[in-house]
Amino acid sequence: MEVLKVSAQSNPKSVAGALAAVLREYGEAEVQAVGAGAVNQGVKAIAIARGFVAPNGLDLICVPAFAEITIDGDERTAIKFIVGSR
């Protein structure tokens, strides 16, 4: 599964375009975010991507979960969104 990493400075429309492309090719993707700002941008990107793929007949669903990731040798808790279609 393709993993897209989002930061608080990410442009939601750009992330949405990348997410839509991954969904069209693979059918599902994972969006990872660490911190409140990054989660905010990730949720916005998923909402925008939903509009991008709707004309292709895809109805997106999103399942949030926790993920333990390593950043610069430190263990961090991230929010991951598993995005797919119904």
- Phi, then psi, of 27 in degrees rounded to 5: 90, -15
Which domains, from first to last, does the chain contain? 2-85 (3.30.110.20)
pLDDT tens profile 69-80: 998 999 999 999
pLDDT tens profile 37-71: 999 999 999 999 999 999 988 899 999 999 999 98
- Helix 36-53 vs helix 12-26: angle between axes, to the nearest 10 degrees? 50
Through-space distance between the first and last CA atoms of the chain, rounded to whole angstroms: 17
The reported pLDDT for the residue numbered 5 is 96
Token pair 């991954």: residue: 22
| Euclidean distance between CA atoms 47 and 69, whole angstroms | 25
Which pTM does this prediction carry?
0.92
The reported pLDDT for the residue numbered 37 is 97
The reported pLDDT for the residue numbered 1 is 84
Rounded to an integer, the average pLDDT of 3-30 is: 96
pLDDT surpasses 90 at 25: yes
| Euclidean distance between CA atoms 63 and 52, whole angstroms | 19
